Structure 1
């Protein structure tokens, strides 16, 4: 009798475990029903215009409204962060795709191209008491597994450009450690062949670097590395990649100002291009962050009219002078809430969806030949 009862309990336990496993598999394979709009397309005379959105994790009405506004502004491309820590939060064996499925489905309905930034490390893939930007070599393979899974799911849906990490020349973005260009190159060497084996049409892009900084190897104050120095050392390792992301912030400088090693400006992009070309890489470029700020009291900001002037001039400069530039995606379309800092003054739209003057100026630009 006891044996029969044990067998029965064991059978029930196995059934429950199998049921949970099947439910998890079902959730991964069957997407939930989203409130998608009718299919639309972007009307623009300047397809180079894009914008960084940061919508992953927001509610569906906000995503739907925001992407409609992006389309109506005339931007063809969005750049958004798809955090590893959100998509694979618990372990290497499970994924939570609902948020990314929803964002990408809505972008597709609006006729928008998506560039995916992939970083933020889950707690299970890093040592205790480290930040979510801390990725050690022991977990490069786990990160590659995530990028492979992302590519398998979304490259067939048109999400072709995959940015590996973000600003690895900053201490904060490299896990509160001194940045290591050789380690970043090694990360690319692990990720690239894995992704290309399952999605050869994917474009693996170098992370955008934070522009400027002291020209020495390590800034003793911030433990950050100058962008050009970091790039030279990384390229010397011959990492594999298909494209380059650039963070082209203008600071207080005009869009047409000539590049200079000591100046952070929009055309600093040309110095990055020259280094990449000299290293033997002839690849497309994408600006995935950048632009001007119009905060009234921040020292790196300009007035709202000058911001508009510089933004439109930057699009025109890229179109006319940079045949290798595919997208100019400035930071940042909107924020979910006011921060009451200078960050609010990079946006094109207020948190409640009210467009700013910069939005209407870009919209007018995209509709003019």
Structure 2
């Protein structure tokens, strides 16, 4: 997807532009996505999250022991033995309540979310103490010391189910619909939002000169709704004269930015707020996203590793996700196919992703194909485009690369997926309206994609739908000329209106049903 920013525009997620479906025609390299013309509102003083404190006894607090991982990664096993099955892969700095130890002292029993989790090798863990809760009423939490403006309550944990549910949102510039759209995400049954935290929007004035005003509002307002945040960290590729320059030369400065963001929103008591996951850059398999230079997986791996270390130093429990790649058939100075890029990236990492990412980011647009279609059929049948990446299940091809390098303990995060029903833009309508996809088929395919993943992809984590709408699409009075408009699961709606599309309603019904709930917008209830 193309990143748009600078003068008030917000990143606009769209799959790569592709050719009209012809069997012998290679996939076109993506071209620039039109920028969303959003106005930058006046910046009032940053809001702070309200403190949540509970009255409790004034006697001495209870101290509990925790075990902190000191190795790069540690297998948590079902029993105190190397023959026990791996129940979790923990990263360096991650901490767990200490429940006990084995008779020989070689293994520590760990807890998570109030229940036993498993066993970790004692030699790779450090035992520490922390204040757990005040004595007396066991339900009264301890009162942590809060930094000014800090949140003393708890945040949603940095965990992902398989699959987990989220969508791209546009709540950076349009303050008037921010809370409305965050509420729609919660009401729709989504657990995550994906929002661009563009480098130039926060540190655009120069190195170390941060403007947190908008970011603070987005983070705290999402935290208040228990929505987890996936922050896309990237730079508008069309921005000229940015102080840090282009990738990969700006890697050290970018890592500083990522670390500053992770430190501010590190999910600890007293923090301004919590960002649970970070996407590092966007589509580096395109020259336009890589400083105009030929895509270079080794350079990106080094760039990714720097950001990983900076984020983990500030928040060891944050989930760091590699960039998703653009689907393209070109392999030249301006683009590289995603499967080739991923494979060469693993080679550059020495065959191991340790110290680079916690989950592999992938893009999974469905194009003209239903979600269950085998990629081999997409490659052999011209009606689907003639390439494997024209199928939603091309994600399985990328998973095979992870398996090739033994990286099976980590998940894939689908950073964007969806279907367009575009009848207007030639680069998109061949796999939109011309392929028989309308807004009802779009809704059906999105639900079926989630169901297919739940049944067949135990290795998938968050699946982020493309996309909630951007109100800026209406700024010229005609949203339909924006190709992103046709991917959206709702109509872009002003604050006094909610203009539905079937996709939002059907997803709301399905996702709420998973928790035994009803969608409050279901017209049939």
**Matched position secondary structure for 1:91:** coil
Task: Provide the residue aligned with 1:316 in structure 2.
Answer: 451
Residue 332 of structure 1 corresponds to 467
TM-score by length of 2: 0.58
Whichever structure has more helix as a proportion of its residues is: 1
Q: Which residue number corresponds to residue 69 of structure 2?
A: none
1:70-219 pair list within 5 angstroms:
70-120=185-235, 123-127=241-245, 134-137=246-249, 139-156=250-267, 157-214=273-330, 217-218=331-332
| Deviation at residue 140 of structure 1 after TM alignment | 1.1
State the alpha-carbon separation in 2 of the partners of residues 118 and 47 from structure 1. Answer: 23
Q: Identify, as 1 or 2, the structure richer in strand.
A: 2
Q: Distance in 2 between matches of 1:47 and 1:275?
A: 20
* Distance in 1 separating the partners of 2:361 and 2:174: 25
Out of 250, 254, 268, the position equivalent to 2:394 is 268
2:415 to 288, 299, 320: 288
Q: Structure 1 unaligned segments of length 5 or more: list them.
A: 1-29, 128-133
> Secondary structure, in 3 states, of the residue corresponding to 1:326?
strand
Question: Separation in 2 of the partners of 1:148 and 1:277?
Answer: 30
Residue 3 (structure 1) aligns with = none
Shift of residue 168 of structure 1? 0.9
Aligned length: 322
Q: Which residue of 2 aligns with 1:348?
A: 489
Question: Bigger shift: 273-282 or 96-105?
Answer: 273-282
* Runs of 5+ unmatched residues, structure 2: 1-44, 51-152, 268-272, 380-386, 515-525
Q: Could you tell me how far apart the structure 1 residues matched to 2:49 and 2:276 are? A: 23
Per-residue deviation, residues 92-128 of structure 1 (Å, max 9, x unmatched): 121101111111111112221110110116844344x
Q: Which stretch shifts more, 275-284 or 263-272?
A: 275-284
Corresponding position: 1:58 with 2:174: yes
In 1: Cα distance, 2:310 partner to 2:513 partner: 43
Shift in Å at residue 357 of structure 1? Answer: 1.4
SS at match of 1:178: coil
- Partners of 2:499 and 2:438 lie apart in 1 by 19
> Cα RMSD over matched residues?
2.6
Distance 1:83 1:146 in 2: 10
Asked if residue 300 in structure 1 is aligned to residue 415 in structure 2, the reply is: no
Q: Closer, same or farther in 2 for the Cα pair 1:327/1:136, shift >3 Å? A: closer
Q: What's the secondary structure of 1:152's corresponding residue? A: helix
Deviation at 1:367, TM superposition (A): 2.4
Matches for 1:6-85 after TM superposition, within 5 Å? 31-32=46-47, 48-59=164-175, 61-85=176-200
In 1, distance between residues paired with 2:414 and 2:248? 27
User: Matches of 1:244 and 1:183 in 2, distance apart?
Assistant: 17
Deviation of 1:328 after TM superposition, in Å, equals 1.3
- Distance in 2, matches of 1:160 and 1:51, equals 15
**Paired position in structure 1 for 2:505:** 360
Task: Write the distance in 1 (CA, Å) between the matches of 2:278 and 2:189.
Answer: 23
Measure the CA separation in 2 of the matches of 1:244 and 1:284: 6
Partner of 2:360: 244
CA distance in 1, matches of 2:165, 2:318: 21
Between the aligned partners of 1:155 and 1:208, the Cα distance in structure 2 is 24
Q: Deviations over 1:239-269 (max 9, x none)?
A: 5211111111000001001134722211111
Q: Contact 1:248 / 1:267 at 8 angstroms: preserved in 2?
A: yes
Aligned equivalents of 2:260, 2:244: Cα separation in 1: 19
Please state how far the C-alpha of 1:182 moved relative to its aligned partner: 1.4
Deviation of 1:144 (Å) = 0.5
Please say if residues 232 and 278 of structure 2, whose CA atoms lie closer than 8 Å, have aligned partners that are also in contact.
yes
Deviations 1:3-59, CA, capped at 9 Å, x for gaps = xxxxxxxxxxxxxxxxxxxxxxxxxxx843589xxx9x9xxx997221111322321
Report how far residue 167 of structure 1 moved: 0.9
Contact kept? 1:245, 1:288, Cα under 8 Å: yes
Supply the distance in 2 between the matched residues of 1:277 and 1:160 (Cα, whole angstroms).
26
